[in-house]
Structure 1
Amino acid sequence: MSTEPPSQAETVVVGAGAVGCSVAYHLAELGAEDIVVVDQGPLPVTGGSSVHAPGIVFQTSPSKTQTKAAHYTTRLLKDAGVYDEVGGIEVARSEERMDFLRRRVEWATSYGLPEPQLLSPEEVGEHLPLVDEDEILGGYYSPTDGRVDGIAALQWYMEETPATFVGNTEVTDLDVEGGEITAVETDRGRIDCDRAVVATNNWGYQTGQMAGVDLPIAPVEHQYVVTEPLDELAEEDSDVGENTTGLDVPGQRDVAEQMSEGPNRPVGRDQDHSLYFRTHGDAVGMGSYNHETLSVDPDAMGKNTEEHQASVRGFSREHWERATHPDRDTSAKEAFDGLLPATADADYETTENGIFVFTPDGMPAVGETAQVDGLWTALAVWWTHSGGYGRILAEWMENGVPRLPSGPVPVGGIHVRRFEPHAGEKDYFVDRGATRYRQVYSIVEPRWQPDDHRGLRTSPFHERQRELGAEFYQGGGWESPQYYESNADLAERYADEIPEQEGWRGINRSPIEGAEHLHTREHVSMFDMTSFSAVDVSGADAEAFLQRVCTNDVEMDVGDVTYSLLCNEGGGVLADVTVARLGDEEYVVTTGGGNSPGIHGSWLDEHAPETVSVNVDEGGRSTIGLWGPKSRLLLQRVTDADVSNDGFPYFSAKRIYVGEVPVMAMRVSYVGELGWELWTPTEYGRRLWEVLEDAGEDLDVRPMGGGALESMRLEKGFRLWGTDIDTDANPFEAGLGFAVDMDTDFVGRDALERAREDGIDSHIVPVTLDDSTDIALSGRPVLDAEGEETLGYVQAGDYGYSVGESIAYTYVPSEHADPGTDIRVACEGETYDATVREEPLFDPGREKIIR
């Protein structure tokens, strides 16, 4: 380790905590050279959350990426000798939590964690004798959970990484020229660089501001205490007083000292009361989220000094002893006194309010920023996932493919570019971060919706939708109807075809969603697509550019439309898009809503040559999907254009007028019915809705919401990026080989050629439950016919109201992918017999969509 910063480096990592060290280690492992890691604090005890955190690792998550990143972290740090694999137990004090723990077992099974199991109260007591068995109903045990020794892990990274580590050095600025990072300025000199990584976590917002990037990273306090030595643990060894000997420690040495003391029993948590705990030798450490959110102004994080660790605040006893959490009626101390009676009268030797961060959706912020080329982020990552995300980001930076040794990972839920334009506003992300803190141990219902910062982005149809009783769901800040109360009569009409969903899978669902599905199949519906995005691509080299980035051939006639994919260098599906040629040098590329504009639009923009203009028109157009067997009859009433099958064939586009509204109409359908997407400038949107609604009254035209869209697209096998397809699957695995023209030269082609030569050993397939109408929820295990081998997990599931079967999509090994193969699906404690089917399940001859 060097004490002097160099004047130049290829890569500068800002932050020498768990994540920054992991990124540097993995970059070097992949062959990167000339790496500098800079931190404001002393090394290795930097003074960030990496050294005040208790290091507890619970690997199981509803997210595959989170789970796999955590498991990789445990394997890496166990081999390094800085991870205590003592196991982890989550206890339940309510029936609702026991149901949740059963979901834990299913997620762990799906994502490959070893030997997950449910325990009886007595079995919990055998592992954790301090727990009062009478207080609990059972527990979930993951034997490879445990604890990271934070300071020892940082020391190991620094010793094993061929990089220059510079402590006691404050970053004062990030120099950006021509949209590219050029240097990192410090209080000890300038470091010219080709790329930089922001891994400052608690200071992430402030660091981003130096480059003019609004990173939505919200710091929040939470509490941790360590008891005095307990008689019940008197036989346990303790090294307290020796763990930080010889190290420079900012602020409270006792915090770092205690956090370095390892556990001798499984780590535990009581999520019913937002608590977690572990032993520290002969003492017990207890952590609490069980208090009101204590948000910290991102601009007021402050600096470390010899007397003060900026990421540790004074312990607020009132939040420990009083019930201040809005969803809990018991204080942290009261709950711990009941669960761990031995701690009830113990004094606390160490206390802290430690700071860590949340993003608006609670997931990490990883990847290269859209605003500054060469500026990468690795933020909102805890010790639990730090090794995994360090590897993911290093692979992404070096090879263009985010991956772990187990394979590529999806980026839709973790990419720093996923955040909508308003997410960087401080009040917004601090409030949303506070909500995520409040929920961190809560049981969050399916389809849960926030109640703050609503109505940010609305289509011009919004007021009419409110009149129709729309149930709005928010995505990417957009308010999009899930269903309409005005269609309640349809639920009565189709009641016999809409099975009831009970329990967990029925929460926040309405039978109206199924009714809108069935109505659209028989009549005509209007779907608000305003949250979807259009990317205008124009210029003399527009065709050549799109040919380079699209997997399908875009050398087509004006008015033609094609379906294509965008792939990364590893052949992973970065996006699926619809490409329409509107002129000799004019194309429009349409993609989904939510995170698509930030991830897909910016990717197109940064890959375009100077001779090509790329305009991501997010919100500039409002769009209606007009779908159903009566859609042609309705559209012909309001336009002079020929919309017959000969005059306007499937997968074509042209500019028309609907009433007096100028529209770019594309004959495409995401629901498998005859129909069009009608795109118009936003200011015309309200009139477009009125024209169609008025003209279609006698055709029983209805509005349709997102619930119906999901079940209809699954019946047709249409993919949804971020759900069925992402960067962890290639087009051949995803059943999208028809959208790949291997005779063209596109990004990712070489990787796909290698994959095809090696053989495709996994395929996505539709599965239907044999004897049940229950919905199979995403993330649940798909098993072989004997229920012994885990083949995969449910990517997406819903009830197919037109085919009368419960549908799930899953990737399975090729030997299990043939139609007719018997398999099983586990969900909510039940195991269902199921069958692999040939897709599409609905209208396989495409008679409805091309008529």
Structure 2
Amino acid sequence: MSESLAAAIARVGSPVDVLRNAPARPTVFPVTPEFSNWRSEQLSWRTSVALLDQSHHMTDLFLSGPDALKLLSDVGVNSFANFRIDNAKQFIAVNSDGYLIGDAILFYLAEESFDLVGHPMVIDWVQYHLETGDYDATFERDGNSIVRAGDPKLYRFELQGPNALALMEKVTGAPVPPTKFFHMATFTIDGLTVRSLRHGMAGQPGFELFGPWAEGERVRSALLEAGEEFDLVLVGSKAYSSANLESAWVPSPLPAIFTGEGTAAYREWLPVARAGSLAGSLASDDITDYYVTPYDIGYGRSVAFDHDFIGRAALERHAAEAPRTKVTLVWNEEDVASAVQSLLEPGVPAKYIDFPKARYGLYQVDRVLIDGEDVGISHDVGYITNEHAFVSLASIATEHSAPGTEVHVLWGEEPNSQKPAVEPHRQIAVRATVEPAPYSAFARDNYRAS
């Protein structure tokens, strides 16, 4: 039987020590890293059309039954008052103290039938409450291709870019009906029924197509054939993992499962192998210093106090306070180049900076400083070819969030942790400039406006 998170904490002594030295990898993308090269693949969703395979790296939690929607409403901060079949939403959950557990995409598939798709953090939380609560509902869990035995239940393909609409009209042989953002439609591709979610990734227009796994190869082949005239580009895991930097989605904030009412039993239930790993220059012994609220990472407009849910009272207090603001930090090119150059010089180098995605733990938490004082935390970090910029997404004190504000990001760990992704290195302070999130003007004007 696998060790629980609670047992691991008891054995090691603290949740911070468990996570900082955990072997969990920064990301799990069991698909081809590059079909051509990640730079050209990043360019494709801005200049033509990108095809990304989402079938393997995410977890699906299929929920069904009379109380399935009640469960989601009890756990989620979102409003479900107007949630209908063929709608989707970014489902968000917090703990009893109003700190973020995580987020995932929730699909309303049919009467009393839902699919919650994303990283395991919030999916585990929902599954736990279903198993331990009094709900007339059932679930089927389909893990990613690292943990799953056999094929996925569904294929899931992403089409993104300025040519996505034209490609869809060619491959379906019909005009694409007007579909609101985060609403679903049904199409026919090569004689097969395909469901589609209308949304954007990296701020670009696009479609998320899904259906039974056995039909996926026919759909993919049809897309490739039709896509030739639209400069369709296959995108691998390297480029795909960096797309969130353009849309300003923070993929994996540390889940607030270590404090708060009801979390002790949850830590007994959760295997430590699913707890993830913590990286970065923030080195506090207080695990709550790593928490964020939905307001800290731009989820405030998804919070709805029109129903009772776990953490509602605490979240109302967070809403009334002056929250941190999500921003993009554009790292100084000379400091980034200097960090890379340190690998070619004698002595202990700076922490290795990988491209295009540089985070080295599932939860990346780096200190953001002004004049040596902490003003926030930096999350996901990497390179955007379309902007010729190395950036991170950050949550910083609102009074320091104006574009153009100069800050420093402390990069690297002190002391170095024992994670496999960490080599002997020294910390460095990287200059950075506060800019809007999303950083891409196209994403700000189109994706966020939706």
Q: What is the match of residue 76 of structure 2?
A: 550
1:734 aligned to 2:297? yes
Change (3 A) 1:597 1:839: closer
Q: Deviations over 1:265-312 (max 9, x none)?
A: xxxxxxxxxxxxxxxxxxxxxxxxxxxxxxxxxxxxxxxxxxxxxxxx
1:622 aligned to 2:155? yes
Distance 1:748 1:597 in 2: 14
Change (3 A) 1:773 1:706: farther
Q: Deviations over 1:730-775 (max 9, x none)?
A: 1112221011112222211112113234x24534322112444836
Q: What is the match of residue 388 of structure 2?
A: 804
Q: What is the match of residue 571 of structure 1?
A: 98
Change (3 A) 1:750 1:707: same
Change (3 A) 1:410 1:552: farther
Distance 2:198 2:392 in 1: 28
User: Which of residues 47, 55, 59 in structure 2 aligns to 1:533?
Assistant: 59
Q: What is the match of residue 636 of structure 1?
A: 169
Q: Deviations over 1:762-793 (max 9, x none)?
A: 34322112444836765544221x3x223344
Change (3 A) 1:482 1:722: farther
Deviation at 1:577, TM superposition (A): 1.9
The one-letter amino acid of 2:127's match is S
Q: What is the match of residue 133 of structure 1?
A: none
Structure 2: runs of 5 or more not aligned: 144-151, 258-290, 337-352, 412-425
C-alpha contact (below 8 Å) 1:533/1:597 kept by paired residues: no
1:606 aligned to 2:131? yes
The one-letter amino acid of 1:721's match is S
Distance 1:524 1:608 in 2: 44
Task: Report the 3-state secondary structure (helix = DSSP H, G, I; strand = E; otherwise coil) of the residue aligned with 1:540.
Answer: coil
The one-letter amino acid of 2:435's match is R
User: Which residues in structure 2 correspond to 1:143-222 (within 5 Å)?
Assistant: 214-215=1-2
The one-letter amino acid of 1:762's match is R
The one-letter amino acid of 2:131's match is E
User: Which of residues 408, 430, 434 in structure 2 aligns to 1:832?
Assistant: 430
Change (3 A) 1:680 1:600: farther
Distance 2:162 2:17 in 1: 36
Q: Deviations over 1:586-636 (max 9, x none)?
A: 3332223xx458624523532664422333244311211111111111122
**Aligned-residue CA RMSD in angstroms?**
3.3
Deviation at 1:829, TM superposition (A): 5.2
Q: What is the match of residue 764 of structure 1?
A: 326
1:519 aligned to 2:117? no
Change (3 A) 1:553 1:640: farther
Distance 1:582 1:829 in 2: 48
1:813 aligned to 2:397? yes
Distance 1:782 1:753 in 2: 27
User: Which residues in structure 2 correspond to 1:8-407 (within 5 Å)?
Assistant: 214-215=1-2, 365-366=4-5, 377-379=6-8, 385-386=12-13, 388-389=14-15
Deviation at 1:516, TM superposition (A): 0.7
Q: Deviations over 1:647-694 (max 9, x none)?
A: x23211133332233322111233221111111222222222211112
C-alpha contact (below 8 Å) 2:407/2:432 kept by paired residues: yes
Identical positions, percent: 22
Distance 1:748 1:559 in 2: 28
Q: Structure 1-normalised TM-score? A: 0.40
Distance 1:589 1:535 in 2: 5
Distance 2:313 2:449 in 1: 34
C-alpha contact (below 8 Å) 2:250/2:379 kept by paired residues: no
Aligned length: 367
Distance 1:779 1:591 in 2: 21
Q: Deviations over 1:433-480 (max 9, x none)?
A: 9xx7xxxxxxx9x97xxxxxxxxxxxxxxxxxxxxxxxxxx83xx622
Task: Report the 3-state secondary structure (helix = DSSP H, G, I; strand = E; otherwise coil) of the residue aligned with 2:318.
Answer: helix
Distance 1:834 1:764 in 2: 15
The one-letter amino acid of 1:841's match is Y
Change (3 A) 1:661 1:554: same
Distance 1:526 1:711 in 2: 15
Deviation at 1:706, TM superposition (A): 2.4
Q: What is the match of residue 368 of structure 2?
A: 782
User: Which of residues 20, 30, 51 in structure 2 aligns to 1:479?
Assistant: 30
- Higher relative CO (Cα under 8 Å, sequence separation at least 6) belongs to 2
Distance 1:567 1:815 in 2: 25
Q: What is the match of residue 239 of structure 2?
A: 708
Task: Report the 3-state secondary structure (helix = DSSP H, G, I; strand = E; otherwise coil) of the residue aligned with 2:297.
Answer: coil
Distance 2:335 2:157 in 1: 31
Distance 1:849 1:733 in 2: 16
Q: Deviations over 1:677-735 (max 9, x none)?
A: 11122222222221111221222212112222233211221120246x76521111222
Distance 1:732 1:850 in 2: 18
Q: What is the match of residue 280 of structure 2?
A: none
Q: What is the match of residue 586 of structure 1?
A: 113
Distance 2:433 2:17 in 1: 27
Q: What is the match of residue 419 of structure 2?
A: none
Distance 1:547 1:761 in 2: 25
Change (3 A) 1:726 1:796: farther
Task: Report the 3-state secondary structure (helix = DSSP H, G, I; strand = E; otherwise coil) of the residue aligned with 2:73.
Answer: helix
Distance 1:608 1:624 in 2: 34
Task: Report the 3-state secondary structure (helix = DSSP H, G, I; strand = E; otherwise coil) of the residue aligned with 2:32.
Answer: strand
Distance 2:71 2:158 in 1: 29
Distance 2:201 2:132 in 1: 28
Q: What is the match of residue 698 of structure 1?
A: 229
The one-letter amino acid of 1:479's match is P
Distance 1:818 1:596 in 2: 31
